[in-house]
Amino acid sequence: MSVPAASSRATSTPPEAVAWTTINTIRTLAMDAVEKAQSGHPGTPMALAPVAYVLWTRHLRHAPTRPDWPDRDRFVLSCGHASMLLYALLHLSGYDLSLEEIEAFRQWGSLTPGHPERGHTVGVETTTGPLGQGIGNAVGMAMAERFLADRLNRPDHSVVNHRVWALCSDGDMMEGVASEAASLAGHLRLGNLNLIYDDNEITIDGSTSLSFSENVGARFEAYGWHVQRVADGNDLEAIDRALAAAAAETGRPSLIVLKTVIADPAPTKRNTPEAHGAPLGKDEIARTKAVLGWPEQPFYVPAEAKAHFGECVGRGQRLLEEWDATFARYREAHPDLAATFDRWIAGTIEVSWSEVLPTFKPTDSLATRQASSTTLSALVKALPNLVGGSADLAGSTGVAIKGASHFSPTAPGQAVSWGIREHAMGAAMNGLAAHGGVLPFGSTFLVFADYMKPSIRLAALMKLPVTYVFSHDSIGVGEDGPTHQPIEHLAMLRGIPNLTVIRPGSPAETAQAWRAALENRTGPTALILTRQKLPPIDHETYPADGLRSGA
Distance CA 271, CA 273 (A): 7
Using CA atoms, how far apart are residues 86 and 66, in angstroms rounded to an integer? 17
Question: Residue 220's CB: how many other CB atoms inside 10 A?
Answer: 24
Alpha carbon distance 391, 427 (integer Å): 13
Catalytic residue, candidates 117, 249, 422, 509: 422
Instruction: Give yes or no for a contact between 54 and 243, defined as CB atoms under 8 angstroms apart.
Output: yes
Phi-psi region of 19 (alpha: psi -120 to 50; beta: other; left: phi over 0): alpha
- 3-state secondary structure at position 36: helix
422 is catalytic: yes
Q: What share of the chain is helix, strand, coil (3-state, %, to 5)?
A: 45, 10, 40
Nearest to residue 311, comparing CAs of 93, 99, 72, 21? 93
Cα 370–514–395 angle (5° rounding)?
A: 30
Where are any strands of DSSP class E within 380-478? 386-390, 415-417, 439-445, 467-471
Identify the H or E element spanning 511: helix 507-519
Per this entry, what is the length of the chain?
551
Residues forming the active site: 422
